[in-house]
Structure 1
Amino acid sequence: MQTNELNDGKQSSRKLFKYKNLMPLWIAVFIDILGFTLIFPMAPYFAELFSTSTFMIGLVFSVNAMFGFIFGPILGKLSDKFGRRPLLLISQMGTCIGFLLLAFSNTLEMLFISRMVDGIFGGNFPIAKAIVSDDVPPKDRGIQMSNIGIAHVLAGLFGPALGGILFTIGGNIFLPGLFSAGLSGLTMILTIIFLNETWPKEKRKEHTKRKSHVDEKIRKNHHALFFLTLFGFHSTSFMITMASISFFGAIVFNLEPLDISIILMISGFVRTTIRFTLFKPTVRKLGEANAIRVGLSMFLVCFFIIGFSVNVIMFLVLLIFISFAASLTRGPLNSKISQTVSPKVQGKINGLSSSLDSFAQIMGPLIGTFMLQFFMPYWLGIVVASIAFPPFIMAFQKIELKVNKSPKQQS
């Protein structure tokens, strides 16, 4: 019995890291997310640093996502035309410049500009998902998409703690911003040296010829629209909660940046442990569709309760459950979305899903900071749970997907 379980674990691990050519991508994505999570513990204290309101800082984070919402699909479509690798490098370079501007920001206007630049070049995730879709067949795509979730988990373990320490040492955003810029520069080096092009010129020409015969329109694809709508509602509720964590801790529990970084680090540690122990057995036992349903159910309950948190321990436990729900939901949902279209528009569909994430990131800081500044904390939970309810209902509708495969994946 133990031997069988051990073999299952080894097979699952091999499947998780089956596509060795994607390892440089996962490392680059991890470093990119790490740079972004460094600034999480500092967010509530930007208001003090720049002599403005909490809501205005929420607007700063929303502006970043607003530009990502506009330019994400553009970069995704450009990667369909010119290849994934060059567009990924351009996105990483823009992120690096954005963090450098952040490091030297000494006015609110400069802070806005730094976040705008980062948003304009925020094509890392749609292009990363398109790269997975290029090389990975649908049966393995959910697990490989979940590697983005693993990158989030690991970055969430180290990033906030490091950011809190750097902020405490420097007393401002210079050290965290400079360190994040350095990490972004490192992702460019890794991409240049190790990452192979997954959408070469030959494939682009082949699909351009096919496109002249069949013009695939996503707006006429009911399966794609269904899953994009579900994902949009889910992402909005999720991002409001994620954007509010640091502000909630500072406003409700009077926590300092280092305290917030410690809470996020503990949450990240538990989340990492759960991700590498319970996640795969749970998905294997429930199946992808049921895992999504369980995850969305957990989101709905936890989002409602979190606004009623009476102490830091309760707050932390709810964050851990939310993290587990994210593991069950976000990777498999991205996989479902990618399976609704053919290979030639993977950049486009992943650009659209990332735009929905960007839209959620626009609304998240705005709604979160607005609710926490002007209303009692429990109203935040009520509003977020209301937004999480539609995807919870939609997830229990049965929709059969017609899986699209590239010639390479069919062989």
Structure 2
Amino acid sequence: MQDKKIKTNKKKKYSQLNAIWMGIFADILGFSFMVSLLPEVNNSFNTTSFQATLLLSSNAMFGIIFGPIWGKLSDKYGRKPTLIICQTGTLLSFLIFAIGQNYKILLLSRILDGIFGGNFLIANAIIGDVVDKKDRIKFMGNISLIFALSNILGPGISALLISLGQGMLFPGLFGMILSGLSIISSIFFLPETLKKCESKIPTLELNNESNSNKLTYTRVEKNNFPKFKLIQWAFYTLALTLVYSSISLYAYENFHLSAESLGILLMTAGIFQILFRMTLFMPIIRKLGEKKSALVGLIISCVIYFSLTLINQKWQLICIILFQGVAAALVRSVLSSQISKSVESYEQGKIQGFKSALDSLGQLFGPLFGGLLITFAPNSFFGLCSGLIALCALGFGMFPYLQKKKSKENYQRKINSEICIKE
């Protein structure tokens, strides 16, 4: 009876999050639209692959600067007002995108979206405010679901709307409608979640799977854990964005896939990722734990990216696109949860701001690097470079746990020396 009451209270408490999902989807959809529209931009505006990917990178360039600012503002003035301002900026960027009849106007719309690109990080901060630490992995996984849903609907919707003619008008109007709905939802249904409190040193357990393995960490070790996780996030995001943002151009250049064929493939990959999230995701997390699940996802990512150096058949490319979504769902959900749990509520905006800046850093250099590799480098370099970057993420993922092992050995050595002194 008591467990049922606790579940009911949690359900009521977490219902506050219903207002943010639409805004997250609208924010991600802008990036999804642009990835699937890159070949169309090339054809319509006679741009190079480098110029096309610059539409993605310009957005990220300003996100690096303004992401941490929005995060700190949300810590100071509250999540709700800051989120509404960012959502309004997204709506204006879609408006400019809709009237973009030349390359420069499209570039301006992406820059404006980068300046007001705080939607996603503030939504993550709200999750950190509301959701208990033990339940956070589930809700971070829900964000992966929204990413997958965007991958399914974004390419298909953009291809359909582009086919109606009028350039970028209809994709932009669709984004405006979603942004408007998210603003209305935030105004009327989102309560303020930020709770002001005194600064405290956050409690951190690097292994929450067994009480017998819990250790008391020093202040330095606690502070280092989110730093290493942020570095790991940066490397993995760079590898993932490099591949995801340029895979359409890679498929077009090497396998002659049309925008329509690629759209169908990306939609299928999104469906595959959603099925994984709804069936195997939580059982894997419960079976392996967060740490091992992230490592499995990173290993799969490394294998997939290095495989890009060897493939020469369309079916091989299809397998890579399908399974990279599964790996990304594991890695990004777990890392997001661990980063969020490493600080308290009053610092959620700050940590999510840095995380968002690293996302933007990946979105800045990923498309640029991918465009340069596809345009000027041998085909094998695309997979080789992304694989090496993912390998760096795997290495940084191991470091805090090696540090923990060293701390455990030092702790045991201290206990043994105390026993010897007593004897």
- What SS does structure 2 have at the residue aligned with 1:396? helix
Counterpart position of 2:252: 250
Deviation of the 1:150 alpha carbon:
1.2
Task: State which of 332, 335, 342 in structure 2 corresponds to 1:330.
Answer: 332
User: C-alpha distance in 1, partners of 2:179/2:191?
Assistant: 19
Say if 1:170 and 1:16 are closer, same or farther in 2 by CA, change over 3 A.
farther
Letter in 1 for 2:352: N
The structural deviation recorded for 1:343 is 2.3
Amino acid at match of 2:392: P
SS of 1:170's equivalent in the other structure is coil
Q: Which residue of 2 aligns with 1:408?
A: none
CA distance in 1 between counterparts of 2:313 and 2:325 reads 19
Is the 1:307–1:382 contact (alpha carbons within 8 Å) kept by the matching residues of 2?
A: yes
Question: Equivalent residue for 1:303?
Answer: 305
Contact 2:126–2:193 (Cα < 8 Å) also in 1 = yes
Matches within 5 A, 1:326-405: 326-397=328-399, 398=401
Cα displacement (A) at 1:352: 0.3
Alignment equivalent of 1:129, drawn from 124, 132, 143: 124
CA contact (8 A) 2:241 2:362 kept: yes
- Counterpart in 1 of 2:71? 76
Q: 1:183-218: CA deviations, max 9, x gaps? A: 11111111112111101xxx33x44xx48xxxxx99
Mean Cα deviation higher: 277-286 or 22-31: 22-31
Note closer, same or farther for the CA distance 1:16–1:271 as it changes in structure 2 (3 Å cut). farther
- Please state whether the residue corresponding to 1:64 is helix, strand or coil: helix
Distance 2:13 2:179 in 1: 26
Q: Retained in 2: the 8 A contact 1:299–1:388? A: yes
1:182 matched residue in structure 2: 177
- Relative distance call for 1:43 and 1:85 in structure 2 (3 A) is same
CA distance 1:386–1:329, shift in 2 (3 Å):
same
Pair 1:31–1:119, CA change in 2 (3 A): closer
Amino acid at match of 2:271: F
CA change 1:15–1:258 in 2 (3 A) is farther
Deviations 1:159-199 (A, max 9, x none): 21111111122262221122112211111111112111101
Q: Which residue of 1 aligns with 2:229?
A: 227
Alignment partner of 1:65 is 2:60 = yes
Aligned residue pairs, count: 379
RMSD (Å), alpha carbons: 2.4
CA distance in 1 between counterparts of 2:44 and 2:346 reads: 47
- Give the stretch that moved more between structures: 273-282 or 35-44: 35-44
Once the two structures are TM-superposed, the CA of residue 220 in structure 1 deviates from its matched residue by: 9.4
Alpha-carbon offset, residue 285 of structure 1: 0.7
Shift of 1:32: 3.2
Structure 1 equivalent of residue 167 of structure 2 = 172
After superposition, the Cα gap between the structure-2 partners of 1:223 and 1:82, relative to the gap in structure 1 and judged at 3 Å, is same
- Measure the CA separation in 1 of the matches of 2:267 and 2:95: 25
The equivalent of 1:46 in structure 2 is 41
Per-residue CA distance 1:321-360 (angstroms, 9 max, x = gap): 1111111110110111122223221100010011101100
TM-score (norm 2): 0.84
**Percent of aligned pairs sharing the same letter:** 38
Pick from 143, 146, 154 the counterpart of residue 138 of structure 2. Answer: 143
Q: Is the 8 A contact 2:306 2:384 kept in 1?
A: yes
Q: Any stretches of 5+ residues in structure 2 without a counterpart? A: 1-5, 201-218, 406-423
Which residue identity lines up with residue 94 of structure 1 in the other structure?
Answer: G
Q: Structure 1: which 5+ residue stretches go unaligned? A: 1-10, 212-216, 402-411
Contact 2:230–2:355 (CA<8 Å) still a contact in 1? Answer: yes
Compared CA separation, residues 307 and 167, structure 1 to 2 (3 A): farther
Provide the C-alpha distance between the structure 1 equivalents of 2:314 and 2:80, rounded to a whole number of angstroms.
43
Runs of 4+ off more than 3 Å = 14-18, 217-220
Give the superposition deviation at 1:31. Answer: 3.6
Partner of 2:205: none
State the structure with more CA Rg.
2
Q: Do the aligned residues in 2 keep the contact of 1:39 with 1:176 (CA within 8 Å)?
A: no
Contact 1:234/1:387 (8 A) holds in 2: yes
Residues 322 and 384 (structure 1 numbering): CA distance in 2 closer, same or farther, change over 3 Å? same
Give the drift of 1:385.
0.7
- The one-letter code sitting in structure 2 at the alignment partner of 1:176 is P
Query: 8 Å contact 1:38–1:180 — kept in the other structure?
Result: no
Structure 2 partner of 1:163: 158
